[in-house]
Amino acid sequence: MDMTLLIILALILGAIVAYFLLRKKPIGRTPSRLSDSPIVSVSAPIKKEVTFSDRLKLGLTRSRQEVWGKLGQLFNGQALNEEAFDSIEELLYSADIGTSTVGELISELKKKTKEGVINSDEFKKFLFSFLKNKMAPIQDHIDQNLYQYDPQKKGETKVIMVVGVNGAGKTTTIGKLATKLRLQGASVMVGACDTFRAAAVDQLQVWCDRSGATMIRAKEGANPSGVGYDALQAAINQKADYCILDTAGRLHTKENLMDELQKSKNVLKKLDPNAPHQILLVIDAITGQNALRQAEEFHKTLGLTGLIFTKCDGSSKAGSAVTIVEQLKLPIAYIGVGETAEDLDIFNIDDYLHALLGN
């Protein structure tokens, strides 16, 4: 065998040996288990829960900016003159704060400014304290158990009669209220007593279907008192926790409406001497001072137990709530700031005033 052939054979043999040696040498390692894989931590953004306080603050933005924000701008570190007090008075009236309340507020503010110049934050604190003192004595007497479901009293039917003029948001509010109570675990019977408006009855039916509440309805034009009676009878028989009655809502100036509502109230007492346990007036915040007149008429006829303020997100006149609570000595049970069931909740003075004035 010549030398050239030997060299070629040696090279081939060396290449073969090198190939097998390289195959045995690990280039990388495949994880045998999932836990062997490198762990990469990815932080998902945490969504802040939207509370009703947040919704209320957003809903009262218009009131806060158009009235209360302008009030704060008047306190620029200089002493207030009569012109400034006049401006404060005008802004308070534009928010539909009542005459007597405005007069008292201006008087108290003048006393405070005599002690020294106050800034915007100090004015907000003064205003918060003043308005809270006006509302708290009435609101503090409210029985929260009537507005929140108590499982320990399951089957003890509470009757809530809801009244108000057409357009105030009465039917929608009842739908929201039924939904909230159902979510708390309560059984709810709804009586569609506004038999003159088929659209309102159909709207209420949709809310009840969604929430699982039971609805008693009758043909268009049926006797409203009879529907209320039938609804309460069914609620008692089925041991429903709540019986909520929608009512006709023609203008409060028509005496026949008030007579019909009075009749509906009296008929319920045949089944339960204590019914209705609550008579709540739904008030559209946009109506402003006219809301006081409405409340006076309904209260005089029915003896209201509380108020529900709606559409506060569409008005700069949310201050009328203070006047009505103070003058009629009626507490606000619920406040609404939107279209969904989450936009209605039990009224809280501190949350309301913080939303109205800004933190």
DSSP secondary structure of 204-254: HHHHHHHHT-EEE---TT--HHHHHHHHHHHHHHTT-SEEEEE-----TT-
Nearest to 207 by CA among 241, 168, 233, 181: 181
Name the amino acid, one letter, at 306. Answer: G
Q: Which amino acid, residue 131?
A: L
Whether the upstream peptide bond of residue 26 has omega within 30° of 0, thus cis, is no
Q: Which domains does the chain have, with CATH numbers?
A: 144-304 (3.40.50.300)
Each residue's pLDDT expressed in tens, for the chain with a length of 359 residues: 566 666 666 566 666 655 555 554 443 343 344 334 333 333 444 455 778 888 888 888 877 777 777 887 887 777 888 898 999 999 888 888 888 889 999 999 999 888 887 888 888 899 899 999 999 999 887 766 666 788 888 889 999 999 998 888 999 999 999 999 999 999 999 999 999 888 889 999 999 999 999 999 999 889 999 999 999 999 999 999 999 999 988 755 566 888 899 999 999 999 999 999 999 999 988 887 788 888 899 999 999 999 999 888 766 666 778 888 888 899 999 998 888 888 899 999 999 888 888 76
pTM above 0.75, yes or no: yes
What would the two tokens of residue 252 be? 């409060």
246: β partners: 192
Kindly give the interhelix angle for 82-94 and 99-114, rounded to the nearest 10 degrees: 150
Instruction: Give me the numbers of helices (H) and strands (E) for the chain, helices first please.
Output: 14, 8
Contact 207, 178 (CB under 8 A): yes
